Amino acid sequence: MRHIYSGKVRELYQAGEGTLLLVATDRISAFDYVLETPIPDKGRILTQLSLWWFERLADLVPNHLIDAPVPAEFEGRAMACRPLRMVPVECVARGYLTGSGLADYRRDGMVGGVGLPAGLTDGSRLPEPLFDPDTKAPQGQHDENISPAEVAELVGPGAAEELAQITLAVY
């Protein structure tokens, strides 16, 4: 097995022809930074949560999981996957105004390229859920909010529309 990538909280290994092993670590990332102190068993919990959601959403969103053995050293914290091309977009559905969406709203009254009514405050329910995508920044850099039009420039209009529809359907 060959290590091929380290992310903020996951490691990726080539585990055979057409098989990747995605291993969740106990590292914690907040606001695009990896913190020094790991959280014991966080990797196991992340993996179980991911598997639970992949199973429940399989009819709506095909995923990369495959039925393949996981080495004992990674048992409970790893998923066998088929290689896919990563979409360079973090797909966010926003039903309430908070976080970076609130910052965008305070700046120009818009979230995800959609103008919102005046007078909304932190935690306000939005008139309807919005697709509010971000970039997927490399480790050490910050994800940036982008508009749906910018997503279309990155992945093409058809794929951008599909990402928005699936994101809102999952929400």
> Whose CA is closest to 132, among 145, 118, 117?
145
Q: Residue 121 has what pLDDT?
A: 98
* CATH architecture of residue range(s) 89-170: 2-Layer Sandwich (3.30)
Q: Where in the chain is CATH 3.30.470.20?
A: 89-170
| Homologous superfamily of domain range 2-81 | Phosphorylase Kinase; domain 1 (3.30.200.20)
Asked whether residue 44 carries a pLDDT value surpassing 80, the answer given is yes
Two tokens, residue 136: 């997927």
31/81: higher pLDDT? 81
**Once rounded to an integer, what is the mean pLDDT over residues 127-141?**
84
